[in-house]
């Protein structure tokens, strides 16, 4: 499913080469349209991203050095220098990083280059959530009760929270994407949450300023896509529902918003257009609202950039928003009027993350040993920034890509997306594929019962505890292991007796004992070297026939690891050596380890210090989010094995805590 540009392609473009100041799937997506328009594409990359997919797909690559975003993708001078060195005439910021940084937009313009985004003045006006809310208040747009002032001390926020009433939501004024955002349930949590949110905001956006507002219960998150040109024209391209979120970050987006009346769509759309025109906006932008059950909407913020979820708008309109950005930046007027904006069918998008949903959605790092996208087809689209064999580092956001399905109606789009998720297979690190599948398959989602509490409300069903693996599963895993081993030693001659999967196989004993593990469960499988098995490995498919019914399961072996798709989930099965296997244990009793790769931001305790249960011991930063390591019980700090600024790997010992009750 690819959107087709609706702008004239006959006029000779002023641009011939653009630089994308971003990485991952959005860089790949922007370059895809740029190439379709005949433009040369320039990628920038950190030292870590030297071989990343967006670099491989670009015509030209420029090394920024560094690993962290602060040492690469956030360095304005390096990006300007990269554009000049590569001969790029324009820079597209993508989303995140510097996309909503007015200083970046000005630096580009001052360098004589074109910024493929809004004017710096518009970013200034809306880039600060506090300033934006003040503008909307003056314009009479309803606001959620909150504090958006300049004072940033904890006492000011404490007084504001008391006036607003708990629970409250702390938000970074300079950014979005869940970074620098904390829900505070009571006053005792405020100081710690504010300090952590300020550090996250500084790390992600270079700006630690915060605002606080009332945390509404069970609202819907509905946003309006706006687009403006340099001639005073501004349109709203329908709306998107982005209510299903985890950790205040969108996971599922769809368009149009289910149940939204034409009258409400028009009211929200016209309000969004007024907001854009008030600040002289140009280009693609999104005005976000909270929508309550009574149909009242409240302004949240305006994102002065292309959104992650723009593909669902493209799917229901047939427009290419990146092509519009490029054309509008060259002075072309919008090619259609508001009355001509299409609304065709329904589209749903899910965000694919490298993370562990069962462990509080902690980011995951590692190598993509297996990466198989769903098959192409009508109404199907995958925007990805990775490929099989790529590495996922701890330095950046853990999003791998997006799956988008379009249908003539919502149910067709939902079923199409569910089929895509069933086909998708990723091995080598933890992802949210199975979690997304459970959301899309959930009866409440099918019934469009959407609000921002969807995931917490149905958490028990969306994140079920791991059950005992069945005998059928273990037998299938054993057969796949055994037959893949036989396949590995077979000769290339298809007419040779060694090329058969059936009967007694040369080089293998009559019986095989396989020691396997999966999901912390272990099993010994005994296989007989005969043709009696109902399972046959055919290429990468394990075909199992029972009572005349055949089922196919993706089965790919990499050394002593097997990836087997079983009941909709790609299982990772390890072959164990029963002699060499030694149970892993902590080197120190009471040791606390890093739950993921990351950087130590703060060490909160000292050796000899007494701590209560739940006390903050160490703050770890991974993928621009902070994670607190807390005391599992009251005790005394016996040893500290990390220092601030140190990079640590998953499983590294951080703190040793003695429990006085067992001394």
Domain boundaries, the chain: 17-116, 145-214, 220-462, 471-490+498-575, 591-662
Q: Which among 23, 209, 305, 351 is annotated as catalytic?
A: 305
Q: What are the pLDDT digits (tens) for 18-55?
A: 999 999 999 999 999 999 999 999 999 999 999 999 99
User: What's residue 662's pLDDT?
Assistant: 58
Q: What is the CA radius of gyration of the chain?
A: 27
Neighbours of 111 (CB within 10 A): 16
pLDDT of residue 579: 56
CATH class of 220-462: alpha beta
Which residues in the chain show pLDDT less than 70?
1-13, 177, 486-510, 529-532, 578-591, 660-663
The answer to whether 582 and 323 are in contact (CB under 8 A) is no
- pLDDT score of 382: 99
Q: Could you tell me which CATH number the domain at 145-214 has? A: 3.30.1490.20
What kind of architecture, by CATH, is found in domain 471-490+498-575?
A: 2-Layer Sandwich (3.30)
SS3 262: helix
CA distances from 571 to 444, 519, 555 (A): 27, 8, 9
| pLDDT tens-place string over residues 71-88 | 999 999 999 999 999 999
DSSP assignments along 585-630, one per residue: --SSTTEEE-SSSEEEEEE---TT-EE-TT-EEEEEEETTEEEEEE
**CA distances for 242 relative to 248, 268, 297, 383, 452, angstroms:** 11, 15, 14, 18, 8
pTM for this model (two decimals): 0.80
The reply to whether CATH 3.40.50.20 applies to domain 17-116 is yes
Task: Give the DSSP H or E segment for 122.
Answer: helix 120-127
- Give the pLDDT confidence score for residue 546 in this predicted structure: 87
Calculate the alpha carbon distances from 405 to 232, 516, 564 in Å.
34, 37, 25
The CATH number fitting domain 591-662, selected from 2.60.40.10, 3.30.479.10, 2.160.10.10, 2.40.50.100 = 2.40.50.100
Nearest-5° angle of CA 628, CA 629, CA 633? 130
Distances in Å between the alpha carbon of 69 and those of 145, 556, 622? 34, 35, 12
Catalytic-residue membership of 305? yes
Q: Cα separation of 220 and 433, whole Å?
A: 24
* Angstrom distance (rounded) from CA 659 to CA 325: 60
- Rounded CA separation 246/360 (Å): 10
Query: In 3D, which of 228, 225, 222, 223 has the Cα closest to residue 342?
Result: 225
């Amino acid at each position: 499913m690819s959107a087709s540009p609706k702008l004239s392609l006959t006029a000779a473009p002023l641009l011939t080469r653009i630089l994308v100041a971003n990485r991952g799937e959005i860089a790949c997506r922007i370059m895809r349209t740029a190439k379709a328009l005949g433009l040369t594409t320039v990628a920038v990359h950190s030292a870590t991203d030297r071989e990343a997919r967006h670099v491989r797909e670009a015509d030209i690559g420029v090394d920024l050095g560094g690993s962290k975003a602060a040492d690469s993708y956030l360095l304005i001078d390096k990006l300007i220098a990269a554009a000049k060195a590569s001969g790029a005439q324009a820079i597209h910021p993508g989303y995140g990083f510097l996309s909503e940084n007015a200083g970046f937009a000005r630096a580009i313009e001052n360098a004589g280059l074109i910024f493929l985004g809004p004017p710096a003045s518009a970013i200034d006006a809306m880039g600060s959530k506090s300033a934006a809310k003040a503008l909307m208040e003056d314009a009479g747009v309803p606001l959620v009760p909150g504090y958006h002032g300049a004072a940033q001390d904890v006492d000011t926020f404490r007084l504001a929270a008391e006036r607003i009433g708990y629970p409250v939501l702390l938000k970074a004024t300079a950014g979005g994407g869940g970074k620098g955002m904390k829900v505070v349930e009571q006053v005792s949590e405020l100081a710690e949450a504010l300090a952590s949110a300020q550090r996250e905001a500084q790390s992600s956006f270079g700006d630690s300023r915060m605002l606080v507002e009332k945390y509404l219960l069970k609202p819907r998150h509905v946003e309006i896509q706006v687009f403006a040109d340099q001639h005073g024209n501004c349109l709203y391209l329908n709306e998107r529902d982005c209510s299903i979120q985890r950790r205040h970050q969108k996971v599922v987006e769809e368009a149009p918003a289910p149940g939204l009346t034409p009258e409400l769509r028009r009211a929200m759309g016209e309000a969004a257009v007024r907001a854009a025109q008030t600040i002289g906006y140009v280009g693609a932008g999104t005005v976000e609202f909270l929508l309550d059950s009574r149909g009242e909407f409240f302004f949240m913020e305006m994102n002065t950039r292309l959104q992650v979820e723009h593909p669902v708008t493209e799917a229901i309109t047939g427009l290419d928003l990146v092509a519009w950005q490029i054309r509008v930046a060259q002075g072309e007027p919008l090619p259609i009027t508001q009355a001509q904006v299409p609304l065709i069918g329904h589209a749903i998008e899910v965000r694919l993350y490298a993370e562990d949903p069962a462990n509080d959605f902690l980011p995951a790092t590692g190598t993509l040993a297996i990466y198989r996208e769903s098959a192409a087809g009508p109404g199907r689209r995958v925007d990805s920034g990775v490929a099989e064999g790529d590495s996922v580092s701890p330095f950046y956001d853990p999003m791998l890509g997006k799956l988008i399905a379009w249908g003539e109606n919502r149910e067709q789009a939902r079923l199409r997306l569910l089929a895509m998720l069933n086909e998708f297979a990723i091995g080598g690190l933890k992802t949210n594929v199975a979690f997304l599948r459970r959301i899309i398959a959930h009866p409440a989602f099918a019934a469009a019962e959407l609000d921002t509490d969807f995931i917490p409300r149905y958490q028990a069903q969306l994140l079920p505890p791991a059950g005992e693996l069945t005998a059928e599963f273990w037998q299938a895993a054993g057969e796949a292991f055994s037959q893949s081993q036989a396949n590995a030693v077979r000769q290339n001659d298809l007419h040779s007796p060694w090329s058969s999967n059936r009967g007694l196989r040369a080089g293998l004993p009559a019986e095989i004992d396989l020691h396997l593990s999966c999901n912390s469960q272990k099993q010994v499988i005994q296989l007989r070297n005969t043709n009696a098995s109902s399972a046959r490995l055919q290429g990468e498919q394990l075909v199992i026939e029972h009572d005349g019914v055949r089922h196919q399961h993706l089965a790919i072996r990499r050394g002593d690891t097997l990836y087997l798709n079983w009941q909709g989930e790609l299982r990772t099965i390890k072959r164990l050596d029963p002699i060499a296997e030694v149970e892993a244990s902590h080197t120190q009793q009471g040791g606390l380890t890093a739950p993921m790769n990351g950087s130590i931001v703060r060490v909160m305790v000292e050796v000899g210090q007494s701590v209560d249960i739940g006390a903050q011991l160490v703050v770890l930063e991974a993928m621009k989010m902070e994670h607190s390591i807390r005391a599992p019980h009251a005790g005394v700090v016996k040893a500290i094995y990390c220092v601030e600024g140190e990079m640590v790997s998953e499983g590294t010992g951080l703190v040793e805590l003695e429990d006085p009750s067992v001394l």
